[in-house]
Amino acid sequence: MTEQSTPQPTPAGAPEPEAVRWFGTSWVERGSDYWLRRVLVPIGALAAAVAVAFVLRFGVDGVKVSNSGGFVYGLLLAAIAVCSCLAALRTWRLLAEGRDALTGWMADDKSLAAVWVIGCVGALVAYFVRSLTEAPGEAVARARYRKATERHARKAGRPGRPGGKPGKAGKRKG
pLDDT, average across residues 115-119: 90
User: pTM value?
Assistant: 0.70
Range 147-169 burial, b when 16+ CB lie within 10 A, else e = eeeeeeeeeeeeeeeeeeeeeee
pLDDT-based confidence at 8, cuts 50/70/90? low
Whether the pLDDT of residue 159 is over 70: the answer is: no
Alpha carbon distances (Å) from 10 to 1, 83, 125, 130, 154: 24, 44, 36, 30, 16
Q: What is the pLDDT of residue 169?
A: 54
**SS3 state at 78:** helix
Q: What is the pLDDT of residue 126?
A: 93
pLDDT, average across residues 142-170: 70
Phi and psi of 24, rounded to 5°? 60, -135
pLDDT-based confidence at 161, cuts 50/70/90? low
